[in-house]
Amino acid sequence: MVVEGVADDSGTLRRFYLELADRDYREALRAHRRNSVTETPALRVSVSDIKSWEPYTLRLTYAWAWQAVDRPDDAAGEDDGGDDGGGARMPQSQPAIAGLGITAQGRVYGKTAAQFAAEAVRLAVTDAGLTLGDLDGLLVSGGLNSSIGIDLQGSLGLTDLRLLTFMQGYGSTAAQMVQYAAMAVQSGTADTIAVVWADDPLKEKARTSAAYTAKNSVPRGWRGINASNGLYSANTMYALAARRHMKKYGTTQDHFGHIAVAQREWAQRNPIAQFYGTPLTLEEYHASRYIAEPFHLYDCCLVSNGGVAVIVTSLDRARGLRQPPVRILGWAQAHPGRTGVRNDDFGLVSGAASAGPRALTMAGTTLDEIDVIEVYDCYTFTVLLTLEDYGFVPKGEGGPALAEPGVLGPGGKLKVNTGGGELSAFYLWGMTPVHEAVVQARGQGGDRQVAKHDRVLVSGNGGVLDYHSTLILGTDD
Amino acid sequence: MPRFAVRRDDATAEFFDGTARGEFLLVQDTRTGEVLAPQFDTTVDRERYVRVPAAGTGTVVSWVVVHQREPDGSTSRIPVAIVELDEGPWWWSSVTGADPDEELLGRRVQVAFETVGDGEAIPYFTLIEAADPERESRDRSGY
Specify if B2 maps to a domain: no
Distance from CA of B72 to the nearest CA of A (A): 16
Neighbour tally for A283: CB within 10 Å: 10
Chain-chain contact of B12 with A225 (C-beta, under 8 angstroms): yes
- Chain B residue numbers with beta carbons less than 8 Å from the beta carbon of A347 are 62
The span from the CA of A20 to the CA of A55, in Å, is 11
Could you give the strand order of the β-sheet that contains A44-46, starting from the edge strand earlier in sequence?
A: A14-17, A2-6, A44-46, A37-39
Name which residue leads in pLDDT, B42 or A50. Answer: B42
Q: Which of B39, B94, B143 sits opposite A229 (nearest CB)?
A: B94
Q: Is residue B6 part of a domain?
A: no
Dump pLDDT digits (tens) for B121-133.
999 999 997 645 5
Query: Which candidate from A222, A229, A240 shows the least CB-CB separation from B39?
Result: A222
Contact A220 B7 (CB under 8 A): yes
Say which of A62, A298, A427, A467 is annotated catalytic. A427
Domain, as residue range, for B68: 13-140
Pick A229's closest partner by Cβ from B5, B65, B93.
Answer: B93
Q: Which residues pair with B121 in a beta bridge?
A: B115
Q: Which residue of A has its CA nearest to B103?
A: A247
Active-site annotation holds for A56: no
Whole-number mean pLDDT of chain B? 91
Counted domains in chain B: 1
Is A427 among the catalytic positions? Answer: yes
Give the bridge partners for A106, in sequence order. A305
CA distances from B137 to A447, B98, B108 (A): 50, 14, 8
Looking at beta carbons, which residues of chain A come within 8 Å of B123?
A: 225
Q: Pick left, alpha or beta for residue A238 (phi over 0 → left; psi -120 to 50 → alpha; otherwise beta).
A: alpha
A238: exposed, middle or buried (Cβ count in 10 Å: 0-12, 13-18, 19+): buried
**H helix and E strand count, chain A:** 16, 15
Let me know if residue B1 belongs to a domain.
Answer: no
The set of residues, in sequence order, having a beta carbon less than 8 Å from that of A459 and lying 6+ positions away, is A175, A352, A374, A375, A376, A386, A390, A433, A468, A469, A470, A471
Residues A281, A290: Cα–Cα separation, whole Å: 16
Closest CA in chain A for residue B77: A292
- For chain A, which residues make up each domain, given as ranges? 2-78, 95-203+302-475
Tell me which residue of A455, A460, A446 sits closest to A267, measured CA to CA: A446
DSSP code of residue A341: B
Considering only CB atoms, A230 lies closest to which of B78, B90, B119, namely: B78
Computed from CA positions of residues A340, A345, A350, A354, in that sequence, does the dihedral angle turn out positive or negative? Answer: negative
pLDDT attached to residue A338: 84
pLDDT per residue rounded down to tens, chain A (477 residues): 434 343 444 444 444 445 556 566 566 555 545 544 444 444 444 343 333 333 322 322 232 233 333 333 334 334 433 434 444 445 679 999 999 999 999 999 999 999 999 999 999 999 999 999 999 999 999 998 878 999 999 999 999 999 999 999 999 999 999 999 999 999 999 999 999 999 999 988 777 766 666 555 678 999 999 999 999 899 999 999 999 999 999 999 999 999 999 999 999 999 999 999 999 999 999 999 999 999 999 999 999 999 999 999 999 999 999 999 999 999 999 999 988 999 999 999 999 999 999 999 999 999 999 999 999 999 999 999 999 999 999 999 999 999 999 999 999 999 999 999 999 999 999 999 999 999 999 999 999 999 999 999 999 999 999 999 999 999 997
3-state class (DSSP) for residue A255: helix
Determine the pLDDT at residue A337.
92
Residue of chain A nearest B82, judged by CA positions: A240
> What pLDDT score does A281 carry?
98
User: Could you check whether the bond before residue A433 is cis, i.e. omega within 30 degrees of 0?
Assistant: no
**Distance between CA atoms of residues A416 and A437, nearest Å:** 10
Between A and B, how many residue pairs show a Cβ–Cβ distance under 8 A? Answer: 119
What residues pair up with A166 in beta bridges, in sequence order?
Answer: A140
Interface pTM, i.e. ipTM: 0.91
Min Cα distance A345 → chain B (Å) is 8
CB spacing of B66 vs A230 below 8 angstroms: yes
Q: What share of chain A is helix, strand, coil (3-state, %, to 5)?
A: 35, 20, 45
Q: How far is A238 from chain B (nearest CA, A)?
A: 10
- To test the contact with chain B by mutation, choose from A207, A216, A225 the residue with the greatest count of B C-beta atoms within 10 A, namely A225
pLDDT score of B25: 98
Q: For residues A461 and A467, what is the distance between their CA atoms, to the nearest angstrom? A: 6
pLDDT at A27: 61
Q: Is residue B4 part of a domain?
A: no
DSSP assigned state of A39? E
Q: Do A220 and B80 count as a contact with CB atoms less than 8 A apart?
A: no
Q: What is the pLDDT of residue A26?
A: 60
Q: Do A231 and B92 touch (CB under 8 A)?
A: yes
Q: Which residues of B touch A244 (CB under 8 A)?
A: 61-62, 143
Sheet holding B35-36, edge to edge: B35-36, B25-29, B49-53
Alpha helix segments (H runs only) across A41-112? 62-68, 73-78
Taking the C-alpha atoms of residue A471 and residue A459, their distance in angstroms, rounded to an integer, is 6
In a domain, B5, yes or no: no
pLDDT value for B134: 56
- Give B14-35 as a 3 state SS string: HHHHHHHCCCCEEEEECCCCCE
B64 vs A218, A236, A289: nearest CB? A236
Do the beta carbons of residue A171 and residue A467 sit within 8 Å? yes
H-assigned helices in A200-251? 221-228, 234-249
pLDDT at A97: 98
Chain B residues with CB-CB distance to A under 8 A?
A: 2-9, 11-12, 36-37, 39, 61-69, 77-78, 80-82, 84, 88-90, 92-94, 100, 105, 116, 119, 122-124, 141-143
Contacts of residue B132, defined as CB under 8 A and 6 or more positions apart, other chains included, come to none
* Chain A nearest CA to B137, separation (Å): 12
> What is the C-alpha to C-alpha distance for residues A446 and B121, in angstroms, rounded to an integer?
58
Chain B residues within an 8 Å CB radius of A220 = 6-9, 12
Contact A220 B124 (CB under 8 A): no
Q: Provide the CATH number for the domain around residue B43.
A: 2.40.50.840
Estimate the crossing angle of helix A352-363 against helix A380-390, to 10 degrees. 50
Q: How many whole angstroms from its chain centre is CA A132? A: 21
Angle at A61 between CA A56 and CA A65, to 5 degrees: 115
- Cα separation, B27 vs B36, in Å, equals 5
Q: How far is the alpha carbon of A265 from chain B, nearest alpha carbon, in Å?
A: 28
- Is A95-203+302-475 a CATH 3.30.390.50 domain? no
**Is residue A477 within 8 Å of residue A471, measured between CB atoms?**
no
Q: Which of A209, A219, A240 sits opposite B62 (nearest CB)?
A: A240
Catalytic residue among A170, A376, A379, A390: A376
Beta carbons of A42 and A77 less than 8 angstroms apart: no
Contact flag A219-B9 (C-beta cutoff 8 Å):
no
> pLDDT tens digits for B62-110?
999 999 988 899 999 999 999 999 999 999 999 999 999 999 999 999 9
d(CA A105, CA A62): 40
